Amino acid sequence: MSDKVTDRMCKKCSEVKQLSSFPAASDCKDGRKWTCRSCSNIRRRELRLADPDLHNSKRRDYIDRNKDKIREQYLNKQFGISLEDFSNLEKYQEGLCAICGKEEHERHLSVDHCHETLEIRGLLCKNCNLGLGHFKDDFKLLVKAACYLQFAENRPKVSLDHVETSII
């Protein structure tokens, strides 16, 4: 018979729950908090609503202190790559968008990937990434759009000088 504890009583709601229902806590002897996840969530929500400015300032401080860790977790969860993989790809592209060749100044380049195979194709600036997204990664649709632009560039321009522009 195993002496391993599998259940615990929550100190807040007094319900006996599986140990997995209690958040991890490195400062507790068995690695779990004494308040269940539901009660912990309620308490955090109460604290957040009682003083939103304090909550927001703590959140911003955490983000500022852990930017690389947060970025690493995001890249790993979304694309299965590390921050080092991202940096290597960025170096390979010389920090430039794979489509327009421009540098992204306001934020990181976006990881472009096939939504069916999840294969990473490269890094794009915000505008190019959104553009591909709006075209649903449909090559034929993109070719049609390019043909449309080429056609529009060569056709006679229509003057709108005769159109009434006043608002009633």
Question: Domain containing 120 — which CATH number?
Answer: 3.40.1800.10
Q: Tokens for 8?
A: 């615990």
Question: Does the residue 94 lie in any domain?
Answer: yes
Q: Tokens for 68?
A: 């690389």
Q: What is the mean pLDDT of residues 117-121?
A: 93
User: Model's pTM, two decimal places?
Assistant: 0.67
CA 38 to CA 45: how far, in whole Å?
A: 11
Q: What is the pLDDT of residues 129-165, one digit of tens each?
A: 999 999 998 999 999 999 998 888 888 777 767 666 5
CA 43 to CA 35: how far, in whole Å?
A: 10
Question: Does the residue 137 lie in any domain?
Answer: yes
Question: Does the residue 69 lie in any domain?
Answer: no
Question: Does the residue 31 lie in any domain?
Answer: no
How many separate domains does the chain show?
A: 1
Question: Does the residue 28 lie in any domain?
Answer: no
The number of residues making up the chain comes to 168
Structural domain harbouring 118: 82-153
To which residue do tokens 């599986």 refer? 18
Residue 155, φ and ψ in degrees, nearest 5: -85, 160
Question: Does the residue 113 lie in any domain?
Answer: yes
Question: Does the residue 71 lie in any domain?
Answer: no
Question: Does the residue 135 lie in any domain?
Answer: yes
Q: Of 26-30, 35-39, 107-111, 156-160, give the lowest mean pLDDT range.
A: 156-160
